[in-house]
Every structure is written in C-alpha cells, then in structure tokens.
Amino acid sequence: MVPPELLTPGLLFAVAIAAAGGVLRGFTGTGNSMLMTPLYALLFGPVPTVALIVLFDVAVAIPLMRRAFRLTRWRIVLPLVVASWVTMPAGAWLLLHLDPDVMKKVMAATVLIFSLVLLTGWQYRGNVGAPTTLAVGAVTGVSVGATALGGPIYNLYILNSPGDRHAHRAAFNSVISLTAAAVLALLILNDAITVLTLWRALVIFPVFASFIWVGSRLFRRADERIFRRTVLIALVGMGVAILFT
C-alpha cells in the first residue's frame, strides 16, 4: 500500500531535482550527489537523503560493475575502499545522532567546499603510495558515511594515479559502488531505511536513470568546460544560500 505521506508537492520537486542530477551524472560521470544531497536534505531530512543517494548510486553502478572491476587497478583502489569502510561507521554515527538541522548545514558546507575546490581547477599532484591512499580513504569514509558526499575527493585522487581515462573512470566507478553499498548496509543494519524512503526511491529513480541518458547525449554536443563551470557556480550559490538561511 502506498504511504499517504508519499504524494506531496515535495515529491514533485524531488523528481525535478533527480532529473537535473541525472543530466549532471550522464554529462560528467559524477556530481549528481553534490546537487541532490543538500536539496533532498531540506525536503526529506538528512537520513532519508543519504539512503536515497546511496540507493541510486548502487542501482546505477550494478550494470557497470563487471567492466569497471575488470579495468580497475586494485592495488590503489582496494586500500582506498578498505580505509573508507573502516571510518565509515563514524560518519554514519554522526548522520544518525547529530541534530538534523546541523547535518543539513554540514551537507551544504561540504558541497560548497568541494565546488570551490573544483572551480579553482586544483588537482592533486602528490604521492599515491599506501600511506596517502589510506589517509584519503579514511577521511573520505567519514564524509561518505555522514553525507553521501565523497566523489570529488576520490576523483581528484584517482586522477593522479597511473592509467588512462578509461582506467580512472573504472576505478572511480568501483570506489563509488563499493562505498555506496557499504553505507547502504550500515543504514540497513541501523534500521534507518523506512518504507517511505523505498517508495520515494521507486518513484524517483526511473526519472534519475532516464535523465542520465539525456546527459550522456548532451555530452556529445555541449562544451564540457562551460557546462561544468556553470554547474559548479550554481552549486556554490546553493551551498551559500542553504548555509545562511
């Protein structure tokens, strides 16, 4: 039976956000969580938001896993993922126990910081040895567990590792799928995924998936640099607006 709380104006807004997030994911291969997380947190609250984002990430990753796992350089990716898994419960604890209003601000601040870093064009040029990989994974695990946001850190670090763009994309997809699955497992173990959240996912995900295809089609026609910069400026504005309202 459909929960009566499902059919609200907020759901229509959430579907529109998912469409925009899908275009962003299809065009750039990432970034949808930076757009969707702070807005969904305002609509649904932090815990349902993280549940929805990781559900979407896992669902999108399933068809890509076989190819991604085959091309992934596991010598770098596996320590990154394991370190994230170790610290992820700390992030999930923050998500589940901190005041929801505080977590909304944390999510907005995280998006703002990531967007500003990406706008500068900064790229990590340091060492990708085991100690650095473990440190990056540990820090990002807390962020992913608390906010479902960690893709930009993973991406910037992976881009500095050996391999071509196909290997980098495979590594990124492997990391995201494995970390999202771990957050999902933590939420299930803590009984944090409600029937209402599952219904929302059932309604919203088909729109999100459809607009990923739209975004991939736009990629062939639009200027990626202009598109990416425009999106990042919009995300900065959104992060500031949420933080100071």
Backbone angles phi, psi at 124, to 5 degrees: -70, 125
Instruction: Please tell me the predicted confidence (pLDDT) of residue 88.
Output: 94
Residue 107 tokens read as 């999510």
For the chain, the structural domain boundaries read 9-243
Terminus-to-terminus CA distance in the chain, angstroms?
37
Residue 75 tokens read as 């010598």
| Distance in angstroms (rounded) separating the CA atoms of residues 161 and 125 | 9
Residue 190 tokens read as 């803590």
pTM, full prediction: 0.86
Q: Alpha helices of 29-73 — where are they, by DSSP H?
A: 32-44, 46-61, 65-71
What does each of the 245 residues of the chain score in pLDDT, given as a tens digit? 677 778 888 899 999 999 988 888 777 766 788 888 888 998 999 999 999 999 998 898 888 788 888 888 888 889 889 999 999 999 999 999 999 999 888 888 888 888 887 777 766 666 667 788 888 889 889 989 998 888 777 777 777 777 667 777 788 888 888 999 999 999 999 999 999 999 999 999 999 999 888 887 776 666 667 666 777 777 777 777 777 76
Residue 146's closest CA among 237, 243, 242, 41? 41
Instruction: Please tell me the predicted confidence (pLDDT) of residue 126.
Output: 64
